[in-house]
Amino acid sequence: MSTIISVLVTYNQLLLSQINQLLIFIAKNIPLNGPKYDMTSPKYNKLTIDKVPIIKTFKILDYKQILIEYKLVNGKDKKPVNSRDKTSVSPDTICPQCGAPHIYIYDNNGGRGQLWCKVCDLHYNKDKVDFKTETFICPFCGHILSKKKDRKNFYVHKCVNKKCSYYVDSFAKLSLEDVEEYNKDKHKFKLHYIYREFTTNYFDVDLNSMPKGATSLKFRNFSSHVMGLCLTYHVNLGLSTRRTALALWEIHGVKISHVTVSKYAITAAAYVKPYVDNYDYKPTNYLAADETYTKVKGQHQYVWLVMDAIKKSILGYQASFSRDTGPCILTMRMAFDKYKVFPGKTLKFVADGYTAYKLAEQQFKLNNMDFDVTQVIGLTNSDPISTEYRWLKQIIERLNRTFKFSYRVTNGFGSEEGSNTHLALFVAYYNFLRPHTYSYWGPLNSIPELEKISTMPAKWQKLIELSQKLIIEKQVV
């Protein structure tokens, strides 16, 4: 017995010696307090967004007006092209820029495709059908960007010039190991300047569309008070439609199906949404944005939220099945529409490190809305930006937890309409009915008509009535 104990003690001492050696190795070679990722490495350039390129617009000219101006300046008409070789221009050829006929167009390289318009001095390729109205130029070297990828909602343009200062500087930052890896797998690195041209204009999309499946407020079997009870149990208390129907039967003696509860919710969302979206929130210049997710038929649906970090109101919200820049822009547009005068550079817009926010910032700048997105990256205050703006990120994260708590009872939605209905009702409840410690256990936005009402079902009815009045007023205007 003593032999076994001595062997175990010896083995234990051997293990402690090995652990001690490993700790010394870690302390010497692995910095415990260093950053988790070296964000200055060229490998992480894919997480950055390059500045906007120089956009050269293609102007449509009138060749007749150009010929008239030429005659006024020179005192004579511009002569047509006198072709002396066999390579003549086809009679159906016209200049894509000024519309000059073929008699003013010269075959510039002996039948190899390049044409020259004598009227507007344009050189172009006759086989190039998709003549661009805009040309994107690299802001670092002045070369025209090449279209490399065609994605669902955008094109990727790339500067392929190997002498571009952007490429030269990025390549110079590579270590010897990175160079070897770059030569093997170039797709892992982003060394060239790129620009994403969005094919969908998210600034023309209607933000005031209502959820589908809404019905009228003509009650046949129940009253508006029953609808208010349904919304109170379903939205305020977070019960599912089936539990709401059960509560109405066991507490109030109202025999109602969960399908009717669901229809009431869809209808209420349709009527309340215009009032929620058009209310004058008087937002501050501190906004926080983040995205979370729900499930619709087992698939992830992303929920985008933008809130006023000072007043705590939700200003923008969208649900989408894709986590890309489009819904991000729509959510930000919805929030920015709450401003009577856009604050511009004084706006403090804080989000996480997801690239969609920087891409959205770029698109807003192209539409004359200049502001900066501040990105708080990571979970610790390892840089001055995180230290200064961490509190904004924590506020939006707290809102996400509140939303997830309201969603958890559903165990996922059975349709996209159900998800949109839940989101619209949650925002209405959160902004106008839910008690908050920030406002001394009152609603975030006080409505005089609701202050006079003591019961929550009646407040839901009044909120729907106010939204109906707003819809009628907008229709009259």
Of 398, 413, 448, 471, whose CA–CA distance to 265 is shortest?
A: 413
pLDDT band at 17 (very low <50, low <70, confident <90, very high): confident
pLDDT at 432 over 90: yes
Mean pLDDT, residues 241-248: 93
- Which residues, 6+ apart, have CB-to-CB distance to 201 below 8 Å? none
Phi, psi at 299, each rounded to 5°: -105, 150
Enter the DSSP assignment of 235.
Answer: I
pLDDT band at 328 (very low <50, low <70, confident <90, very high): very high
Residue 355, amino acid = T
Find out whether 343 and 370 touch, Cβ atoms under 8 Å: no
Enter the DSSP assignment of 75.
Answer: S
For the chain, what percent of residues have pLDDT higher than 70? Answer: 88
Of 107, 132, 129, whose CA–CA distance to 118 is shortest?
A: 107
Mean pLDDT, residues 127-132: 58
Of 297, 378, 298, 284, whose CA–CA distance to 335 is shortest?
A: 284
Instruction: List pLDDT tens digits, range 75-113.
Output: 888 888 877 665 578 888 888 888 889 888 888 777 777
Cα dihedral across residues 205, 207, 210, 212: positive or negative: positive
Find out whether 350 and 288 touch, Cβ atoms under 8 Å: yes
The β-bridge partners of 351 are 375
The number of residues in the chain equals 477
At 82 the pLDDT is 79
CA distances from 329 to 134, 176, 216, 262, 326 (A): 23, 40, 32, 30, 5
DSSP letters for 46-94? GGS-PPPPEEEE-----HHHHHHHHHHHHSSPPPPP---SS-PPPTT--
Of 144, 138, 185, whose CA–CA distance to 42 is shortest?
A: 185
Instruction: List pLDDT tens digits, range 355-378.
Output: 899 999 999 998 889 999 999 887
Mean pLDDT, residues 440-468: 91
Least confident piece of the model among 77-81, 128-132, 386-390: 128-132
Instruction: List pLDDT tens digits, range 146-189.
Output: 888 888 778 889 999 999 999 998 888 888 888 888 888 888 88
pLDDT at 36 over 50: no
Edge-to-edge strand order for the sheet containing 114-117?
Answer: 105-107, 114-117, 123-125
Compute the distance between CA of residue 390 and CA of residue 337 in angstroms, rounded to an integer.
25
Enter the DSSP assignment of 344.
Answer: G
Residue 299, amino acid = Q
DSSP letters for 192-217? S-EEEEESS-TTSS-S-PPPTT----
Q: Across all residues in the chain, what is the average pLDDT?
A: 84
Phi, psi at 350, each rounded to 5°: -115, 135
pLDDT at 129 over 80: no
Q: Taking the chain, what is the end-to-end CA distance rounded to the nearest angstrom?
A: 97
pLDDT band at 56 (very low <50, low <70, confident <90, very high): confident
Query: Which domains does the chain show, CATH number per domain?
Result: 42-56+133-195 (no CATH), 59-125 (no CATH), 274-476 (3.30.420.10)
| Secondary-structure breakdown of the chain: helix, strand, coil percentages, each rounded to the nearest 5 | 45, 15, 40
pLDDT band at 123 (very low <50, low <70, confident <90, very high): confident
- Between residues 129 and 266, the one the model is more confident about: 266
Alpha carbon dihedral 347, 352, 353, 357, in 10-degree steps, equals: -50
Tokens coding 224:
């508006």
pLDDT at 39 over 60: no
Alpha carbon dihedral 397, 400, 401, 404, in 10-degree steps, equals: -160
Instruction: List pLDDT tens digits, range 302-317.
Output: 999 999 999 999 999 9
- What does DSSP say about strands 314-320 and 299-308: parallel, antiparallel, or unpaired? antiparallel
HSE, side-chain direction, 13 A CA sphere, residue 59 = 6
Instruction: List pLDDT tens digits, range 197-219.
Output: 887 777 776 666 554 544 455 56
- Between residues 427 and 30, the one the model is more confident about: 427
Phi, psi at 469, each rounded to 5°: -60, -40
At 319 the pLDDT is 92
Instruction: List pLDDT tens digits, range 230-240.
Output: 999 999 998 98
Total-model pTM: 0.74
Q: Find the helix or strand (DSSP H, E) in which 335 lies.
A: helix 325-336
Instruction: List pLDDT tens digits, range 262-292.
Output: 889 998 998 899 899 999 999 999 999 999 9
Mean pLDDT, residues 445-469: 91
Residue with structure tokens 């909602």?
Answer: 153
Compute the distance between CA of residue 306 and CA of residue 288 in angstroms, rounded to an integer.
6
Compute the distance between CA of residue 143 and CA of residue 407 in angstroms, rounded to an integer.
51
